[in-house]
Amino acid sequence: MEFVNDSTSTPRHQQWAATMGGFAGEDGIIRAHADSFVRVQPREWRRADRENGGVVNLTPGATREFGAGRREREEEPDEYRTCFERDRDRILHSSAFRRLSGKTQVFVFPEDHMRTRLTHALEVAQVATSVARATGLNVTLTEAIALGHDCGHGPGGHASEDALEIYLPDGFDHASFGADVALAPLNLCAETLDGVRQHSWSRPAPSTPEGEVVSWADRIAYVCHDFEDALGAGVVRSDDLPRVVRERCGDSRAGQLRYFIRALIATISSTGVVGMAPEPATTLAEFRDFNYRTIYMRDASTLQARRVVDMLRALVEYYEHHPQRLPSDHVDSPGGTLAAAVGYVAGMTDRFACRAAVELLDWPLDQLPNGIDR
């Protein structure tokens, strides 16, 4: 492909555009780099080859994958990807997953270095796959569950559950909403949806060991990174941590993650139970209790939560009474107009919800969630 020189192009533009068609070798194959030299032994690993144990050695009790997987709507198997790999890919490319980048983890409108629901999901996936890989569990199923586990969260963090639960007969739980509503269009495997639906500790146990690993990884990740974010925001100090926590796992995120991940791996490897020995489990509980008291329930957080609840309820009631303002893909909800309104509001990002409240309801600016307030 010949690059047409444009007098307005800079040398950098010209260099970039010159790569448009790639680079042809003497064999006629197009390469990404002009000086490409790497070679591999020709081999094609198809899905069936890998399912039969060609590259993965799973421990007894780990979840196997065959064919297209157990889906609500039957599908043909993929030629190369296993069923759980397809699930992971579908979640990564879904709008529900992308919207997590605009949803609260702890701080509304987080500053650049702080976590969002998206970065939280990625960190949970890192913790969970580290454990699954070390214990011979199905890494791909673990990753799929971890990436999708919070796709049902509404804007404004856990306060959205308080806001929305009054409108649905069975209440609103981000775990079940994620599996049964937000991710339902993806036609995921039953094992993936089960792990998402049951990842919260207050719910029944997941049906797979991979799902239970994600339940632990979720708590490990958010306890450690929520403390780090609060530390960066000046909400807490390192020496505020209970002494038992500092002595056992330190005051750095890296050391804390290492301690809890190794504790989980050690128990699974020695007993076959997805859990922790009493000492690290107690340490994690002390750590979470500290975060609960000093971060999640501090006065500024409870004020933000009240503002989120008031705003989201007003939006739901607006859309319930103005269904013509709902997008077409939300109008025909099986639960009726109110359920459709709840589903639409739950899918909003923080900024979209605030903007909708201001534009549709003339919501007072001083009553919007306003981010970090020490």
CA distance 273 to 374: 41
Positive or negative: CA dihedral 216, 218, 223, 225:
positive
Positive or negative: CA dihedral 269, 270, 274, 275:
negative
Q: List CB contacts of 33: < 8 A, sequence separation 6 or more.
A: 23
Q: What pLDDT sits at residue 374? A: 35
Q: What pLDDT sits at residue 89? A: 98
CA distance 107 to 129: 26
Q: Give 195-251 as a DSSP string.
A: HHHT-STTSPPPSSHHHHHHHHHHHHHHHHHHHHHHHHTTSS-GGGS-HHHHHHH-S
User: Hey, where are the domains in the chain?
Assistant: 83-295, 302-367
For Cα atoms 330, 332, 337, give the angle at the middle one, nearest 5 degrees: 80
> Is 18 in a helix, a strand, or coil?
coil
CA distance 121 to 222: 9
CA distance 122 to 139: 14
What predicted TM-score, i.e. pTM, was given to this entire model? 0.93
Q: Which two tokens stand for residue 253?
A: 């995120």
Q: List CB contacts of 217: < 8 A, sequence separation 6 or more.
A: 124, 125, 127, 128, 131, 146
Q: What pLDDT sits at residue 218? A: 98
CA distance 200 to 258: 22
Phi first, then psi: give them for residue 77, nearest 5 degrees: -60, 150
CA distance 85 to 46: 13
Cα atoms in the 13 Å half-sphere on the side-chain side of 224: 24
Dihedral, 144, 139, 282, 256 alpha carbons, nearest 10: -90
What is the Cα gyration radius of the chain? 24
Supply the CATH classification number for the domain 83-295.
Answer: 1.10.3210.10
- Number of other CB atoms surrounding residue 329 within 10 Å: 11
Q: List CB contacts of 204: < 8 A, sequence separation 6 or more.
A: 198
Mean pLDDT by 10 residues, the chain (374 residues): 61 87 92 92 86 73 94 96 97 97 83 87 98 96 98 94 95 96 97 98 96 98 95 92 95 95 97 97 97 92 93 98 90 83 96 96 91 47
Host H or E run for residue 31:
strand 30-31
- For 247-340, strand residue ranges (E) read none
- Number of other CB atoms surrounding residue 303 within 10 Å: 13
